[in-house]
Amino acid sequence: MNTNNLLSPFTLPNGVELKNRIIMAPMTNWSSNPDGTVTEDEVKYYARRSSGVSMVITACTNVTANGKGFHGEFAGDRDEMIPSLRKIANAIKEQGAKAVLQIFHGGRLCPPELVPNNEIVSASNIPAEGSSNIPRALTESEVEEIIEAFGETTRRAIEAGYDGVEIHGANGYLVQQFFSPHSNRREDRFGGSLENRMTFPLALVDKVKSVVDQYADSSFIIGYRFSPEEKETPGITMADTLKLVDALADKGLTYLHVSLHHFFSTAKRGINDTSKTRIEYLLETINDRVPLIGVGKIQTVDDAQKALDTGVPLVALGRELIIDPDWVQKVAEGKENEIITKLNKDMQEQLVIPDPFWKVIMNTPGWFPIA
Q: Flag whether 371 is in a domain.
A: no
Give the model confidence (pLDDT) of 51-89 as tens digits: 999 999 999 999 999 999 999 999 999 999 999 999 999
Whether 367 is in a domain gets the answer no
Residue 69 lies in a domain: yes
Q: What is the pLDDT of residue 3?
A: 67
Q: Looking at residue 340, what is its pLDDT? A: 97
Local structure of 109: helix, strand or coil: helix
- Specify whether the CB–CB gap between 209 and 155 falls below 8 A: no
The mean predicted confidence, pLDDT, of the chain is: 97
pLDDT over 90 for what percent of the chain?
A: 98
Q: Please, are residues 9 and 17 in contact by the beta-carbon 8 Å criterion?
A: yes
In this prediction, residue 177 carries a pLDDT of 98
Q: Quote the CA–CA distance of 354 and 158 in Å, as a whole number.
A: 26
Look at residue 184 in the predicted model and tell me its pLDDT. Answer: 98
Task: Determine the pLDDT at residue 2.
Answer: 62
Active-site residue list? 173
Residue 369 lies in a domain: no
- Determine the Cα–Cα distance for residues 55 and 19; give it in Å rounded to an integer: 9
Decide if pLDDT at 1 tops 60. no
Q: What is the pLDDT of residue 130?
A: 95
Q: Residue 330 pLDDT > 70, yes or no?
A: yes
pLDDT tens column, 153-192: 999 999 999 999 999 999 999 999 999 999 999 999 999 9
Mean pLDDT for 129-139 is: 97
Own/partner long-range contacts of 143-149 (Cβ < 8 Å, ≥24 apart): 143/190, 143/200, 145/64, 146/63, 146/64, 146/67, 146/105, 146/174, 147/200, 147/203, 147/204, 147/207, 148/207, 149/63, 149/64, 149/67, 149/77, 149/105
- The total of structural domains in the chain comes to 1
Q: Give residue 185's domain range.
A: 4-362
Classify residue 322: in a domain, yes or no.
yes
- Could you tell me if residue 195 is inside a domain? yes
Q: Is 368 a member of any domain?
A: no
Distance from C-alpha of 342 to C-alpha of 83, rounded to nearest angstrom: 35
What CATH number corresponds to the domain at position 250? 3.20.20.70
In-domain check, residue 20: yes
